Chains A and B, each alone.
Chain A
């Protein structure tokens, strides 16, 4: 009995020692297994999550994971809404993008993870990500999974060819645009405006400290899509578009990739997952002499440094889960353990929300994409800096899809020159406000 105990202790110590050696500075919380055999249903569209889940089950053999990929956000939300309203059929765990969390908070579908000890995990995550899953600064509705802080992807070869310095501020960006246009006779644009993706525009406003939504203590909302920062950002890009310095190709389409590879666009403001999609979309066909690199997002002034976030998601536990403890263990492990973070990176290109995850050498291998595509540059460190600099105070509202639809519409009108970009932002505010009220939300406009 005694000897057995001793042996077990020794084995345990060795295990802890070797584990801590392997993990160098990586800090992960203590994971406590749950009693009994459990199967968790997990709805997520992270590629290869089944492999990551298998790693988890290797470590906790009593917990099996059934990963269900319903095909992306729209489908998953569709199904999740139905199950939440019906009161049955929801999974234990679901993936939800930050911007969509308020919808599910509103419908009372999610477990407040403080009841499962989530408060202790706060320090493991980049501060702004925690605010995303705890928008009221009290209840915690999810564990941050992946993120998309903004930086600037640029074609180093173009800047070299025209002997123009890579812009560090928005003023320099505008000047570089004018110069590029002049030298290339209008052939090369300094950047591209993604007019069909409001979250991209919101991230730019976010980077400059703008706020779009706020919920009052009584549950009513304030919407300020037309805040001064928002209007200033829109005017800035609008002027460049009108001058012909910036193109307006839709993101993720050949319409955008073709001119990018052909050297007709010099930069693109891209989230941390942008390098992955650049590599995935252009690796076989990067363009003649193209050198893709990543630099900080241009700033208001030299010396200041801030960023915004585009995309990324969290893991939530639904109130219908019969095994919330096990579910909590899984989403905690998935997003704080080295194994989980590295596996999600390798299989799905997820840029982590965990502080320690951002420093991992596994993300920085210069011989594999995305770094390889960027000439071996350590692009992760640029995005790590960006993530640390994302403004913490930014929250969303449940009617984001409405705001997104209206944005694409008003921006199309502004690009056609039928209204100014500032008018477009005002219309964005008004029409989205009306839509939110039609859906029964108590919401006021404000500044």
Chain B
């Protein structure tokens, strides 16, 4: 009885929260069907006639010679490459931290975890200098390389190695004559697949949404990822009004891959959030 009423309350609360979180998304869906004038002068949460959805699509896809596709492609390139490398490195480092005992292990691990606490803005300047000095400024590597290390990914991977790959298995494999690389690739990787997908997703989304790093290291509109490109369109220059509805549509298209990844791979997200929680 009490249980049932508690769950009703839970549903009500969750329902309210869902509305709270979905309302901005709904606003986006409504807004992409309007033009600037309607955006400014009609009720924000309902549609206005005539529809301008097709005009907005046209604007997004043709503005500046159709550069939108290029930005979208760049975002995919940066996110996929950086996330793949970051996952690989995190998996390897996590393996090392989990399976080997070496001098300074816990100190190093704490140190790496500590870097999570450093805000990205504080790192921006050193990264900028580094990129400048090695001559990578204004190349795709300036965006990709700094994002191939993920302390949080490392932490997750170590937890996965600890939980999903028993030390006994490692010892048994070693006894059978397998070297470390074989253990890692042949035995380990298949067992921690879930962890790999999780870390990949987290990094992918982080790179996809990263605005500041590309802002400070790129100097060519053709290399911009989507968020940076759209910001350029939205820049308020006195005397002209940005095509806001088209930009909102561009942003909507830009978050679709993330929404899809959440829908299809949602269980890995949960795995990422709860890993370590059960470890005593």
Contacts and interface: CB of A to CB of B under 8 A. Distances in A.
**A and B together in one complex:** yes
Interface of A: 41, 43, 45-47, 50, 66-73, 75, 78-79, 82-83, 85-86, 88-89, 91, 146, 148, 252, 254, 257-258, 261, 271-273, 276-277, 280-285, 287, 311-313, 347-351
10 contacts: A47-B242, A50-B64, A68-B221, A72-B234, A75-B215, A82-B125, A89-B137, A276-B238, A280-B36, A349-B238
B3 interface: no
A72 B241 contact: no
B240 A258 contact: no
B125 A85 contact: yes
B104 interface: no
Given A71-B215, A83-B128, 14 more contacts: A46-B237, A68-B219, A72-B234, A89-B137, A257-B40, A273-B238, A277-B240, A280-B241, A281-B37, A282-B37, A283-B37, A311-B238, A348-B240, A349-B239
B216 interface: yes
A281 to B, nearest CB: 5
A350 to B, nearest CB: 5
B253 interface: no
Per DSSP, are chain B's interface residues mostly helix, strand or loop, or mixed? Answer: helix
Interface string B27-53: 000000001111111101000000000
Contacts of B137: 89
B34 to A, nearest CB: 9
Contact of B38 (A66, A82, A285, A349): A285
A277 B240 CA distance: 6
Contact of B40 (A70, A273, A282): A282
A45 B202 CA distance: 32
B164 interface: no
A258 B232 CA distance: 26
A18 to B, nearest CB: 31
Contact of A86 (B129, B221, B232, B238): B129
Contacts, number: 125
A68 B220 contact: yes
B8 interface: no
A82 B37 contact: no
Contacts of A78: 215-216
B231 interface: yes
A254 B220 contact: no
Interface of B: 35-42, 44, 64, 124-125, 128-129, 132-133, 137, 215-216, 219-221, 228, 231-232, 234-242
Contact of A281 (B36, B124, B232, B235): B36
A296 to B, nearest CB: 20
Contacts of B231: 70-72, 75
B39 A254 contact: yes
Contact of A72 (B221, B236, B239): B236
A41 B137 CA distance: 13
B234 A71 contact: yes
Contacts of B216: 78-79, 82
B37 A284 contact: yes
A250 B24 CA distance: 21
A146 B239 contact: yes
A350 B239 contact: yes
B237 A47 contact: yes
